Amino acid sequence: MPSNPTAYQQNLKTLSDRLVAIQQPIRILDAIKWPPHWREEFFAKGEKTPPPADKAYYQSIPLDFDLNTVKGELKSLLADIKKTLGKKDALGLILQDTTQQYLQVMDLIKDRGTTGFIDHSRALYGSAHDHLIGDRRSLKEVGEHLCGIFHLPAAKHISFAQPKLYDAPKSVEILQSKLDTYFTRHNVQVKLSDGIVSDAAAGGDSIKLNSRSSFSDRDLRVLEVHEGWVHVGTTLNGRAQPYATWLGVGSPRIAAHQEGLAVLMETLTFASFPARARRISDRVTAIHMAEEGADFLDVYRHFVNVGLSKNDSYAVAQRVFRGGRVDGGSAFTKDLSYVRGFVENLNFIHSAISAGRPELIPMLFVGKLNLHDIPALYGAYLDGTIEAPMYVPDMFSDLNGLYVWFGFANGMHLIDMKRVQNHFIDLFKDIPKVCPTTMSLNGGSRYRMVSACFVG
Using CA atoms, how far residue 221 sits from 102, 200, 226, 269, 439, in Å, is: 33, 13, 8, 9, 19
At 390 the three-state DSSP class reads coil
Q: Sorting pLDDT into bands at 50, 70 and 90, what band is 441?
A: very low
Q: Sorting pLDDT into bands at 50, 70 and 90, what band is 422?
A: confident
Mean pLDDT of 118-132: 94
Mean pLDDT of 263-269: 93
What is the Cα–Cα distance from 431 to 442, expressed in whole angstroms? 26
What is the Cα–Cα distance from 368 to 249, expressed in whole angstroms? 6
pLDDT value, residue 435: 62
What's the whole-number average pLDDT of the chain?
90
More confident call, 307 vs 53: 53
pLDDT value, residue 1: 62
- Residue 366 Cα to chain centre, angstroms: 16
Closest CA to 147 of 8, 315, 286: 286
Type and span of the H or E element at 99:
helix 90-110
What is the Cα–Cα distance from 261 to 305, expressed in whole angstroms? 31
Question: What is the SS3 string spanning 235-293?
Answer: HHHHHCCCCCHHHHCCCHHHHHHHHHHHHHHHHHCCCCCHHHHHHHHHHHHHHHHHHCC
Listed range (28-37, 56-65, 439-448) with the worst mean pLDDT: 439-448
| pLDDT reading at 430 higher than 70 | yes
pLDDT value, residue 152: 66
Q: Parse the chain into domains and list their residue ranges.
A: 7-162+216-407
Q: Are 190 and 213 in contact (CB under 8 A)?
A: no
Residue type, 117: F
pLDDT value, residue 156: 66
What is the Cα–Cα distance from 44 to 307, expressed in whole angstroms? 21
pLDDT value, residue 447: 46
Closest CA to 175 of 198, 197, 201: 201
Tens-digit pLDDT profile for residues 176-211: 999 999 999 999 999 998 877 778 889 889 999 999
Task: Give me the DSSP letters along 120-171.
Answer: HHHHHH--TTPBPTT-S-BHHHHHHHHHHHHTSHHHHHT-------EEHHHH
Q: Are 207 and 227 in contact (CB under 8 A)?
A: yes
What is the Cα–Cα distance from 244 to 9, expressed in whole angstroms? 9
What is the Cα–Cα distance from 379 to 114, expressed in whole angstroms? 43
Please list the residues that pair with 440 across neighbouring strands. Answer: 448
Tens-digit pLDDT profile for residues 331-369: 999 999 999 999 999 999 989 988 989 999 999 999 999
Tens-digit pLDDT profile for residues 358-410: 999 999 999 999 999 999 999 999 999 999 999 999 999 888 988 888 888 77
